Amino acid sequence: MELLKNCNLCPRKCGVNRYVMKGYCGATNKVRVAYYSLHMWEEPFISGERGSGTIFFSHCNLRCLYCQNRKISIDGYGRDISNKKLHEIMLKLQSDGAHNINLVTPTHYVPQIASVLKKIKNIELQIPVVYNTSSYENVGTLMLMKGLVDIYLADLKYYDDSLALKYSGCSDYFETATMAIDEMYRQVGKCEIDEDGMLKKGIVVRVLILPGHTRDAKEIIHYLYQTYHNDIYISIMNQYTPVNMCLYEQLNRRVTSKEYDDVIQYALSLGVEKALIQEGETATESFIPPFDTSVLSL
C-alpha cells in the first residue's frame, strides 16, 4: 500500500517506508494483532450482554508511559496477520454474538482495515464498527474511515500539553485530538441508541482521570460540554491502574474516591447529562485482557 511507503498516517509524521523500517509506533507494513475476544469491560451500551468483538492491534503511536497494555502497545507483542485473516476474525466475532466490532488502537493500520471493511461492511458484516482510539490522529487518516465506522470510542487524555509531553511525548496533543474528535463527530453525528439499549451510532469520549490531575480532567469535560453539549457521551473513568513503577511518583497510585467524586460533581454542575460513570472498585487488572496470540490460529 502506497501510504505505508511514506508513512504519515499519524501526527508523528515519521515519513518512513514501513516495508523497510519501523517508525515511532513500531509497526511494519503487516497488520499485527495481539488478541481478539468478546470483551465485557467496555461501556455498558457497547459491551452489552454478549460482549464487544474486540480486536487488539499491536503497537501504538502515542506510547503513554503509564499504559496498562504496554505489552502490546510498546513491547509489540502479537502476531502478523493477512488482510484475509483480519476479515475472518471480524466475521468470527460476529458469528460468536458480538454486538459490534471494536478496533483497539487501529491508527497505524487504517489502510489495511479500510480495505477489509470496504469489502464486507453492510454485506457480510452487519454489526456496528467501533474505532477505539487515543485520538492522537490525523484528520486525513480518519477520513479514510468515513462511512466504515459507526461509533468512535475516543480518548481525550490531556488538556494541558505539558502533561502530554511529560507522559506521552507529544506537545500538540490537545489541538490535534480535538481536531480529530471534530472530524469523528462530522462523520457519525449525534448518538443513537437502538431498541435494545445498545449504542448503534455516535461518539463516546473517554476522560481517564490521572491521580493528582483532577483539574486537567475538569478542563477536558468543560471543553467537551461547551463544544458538543449533550450530543455526545462523556465516559468519566476512574480505572487508572499503576501496573509499572513510574518515574513520576504520583502516577504510582490509583485515583481516590474523593478525586473521582470531585470530577463527577463538577460535570453535574456544568449540566452534563450524557455521562457514564464507574461505580465501586473498577480500577483492577480485570480490565487488562490476557493477551494470547494462540487464538489467531483458530
What's the pLDDT at 284?
42
pLDDT in tens, 224-241: 999 999 999 999 999 998
Instruction: Using the predicted structure, report yes or no on whether residue 279 has a pLDDT greater than 90.
Output: no
Question: 158-163: long-range contacts (C-beta < 8 A, 24 or more apart)?
Answer: 158/216, 158/220, 159/216, 159/219, 159/220, 159/223, 160/216, 160/219, 163/210, 163/213, 163/216
Instruction: Using the predicted structure, report yes or no on whether residue 112 has a pLDDT greater than 60.
Output: yes
pLDDT in tens, 10-47: 999 999 999 999 999 999 999 999 999 999 999 999 99
From 86, 73, 66, 122, select the one nearest 243 (Cα to Cα). Answer: 66
| Mean predicted lDDT score pLDDT of the chain | 93
* 3 state DSSP class of 219: helix
Q: How far is CA 77 from CA 33, 69, 181, in A?
A: 8, 10, 28
Q: Please name each of the domains of the chain with its CATH number.
A: 2-297 (3.20.20.70)
Instruction: Using the predicted structure, report yes or no on whether residue 243 has a pLDDT greater than 90.
Output: no
Radius of gyration of the chain (CA): 18
Averaged pLDDT for residues 211-222: 98
pLDDT class for 296, splitting at 50, 70, 90?
low
What's the pLDDT at 225?
98
What's the pLDDT at 248?
87
Q: How far is CA 122 from CA 47, 94, 99, 126, 150, in A?
A: 20, 12, 14, 5, 11
| Residue with the three cell numbers 450482554 | 49
pLDDT class for 242, splitting at 50, 70, 90?
confident
pTM, entire model: 0.94
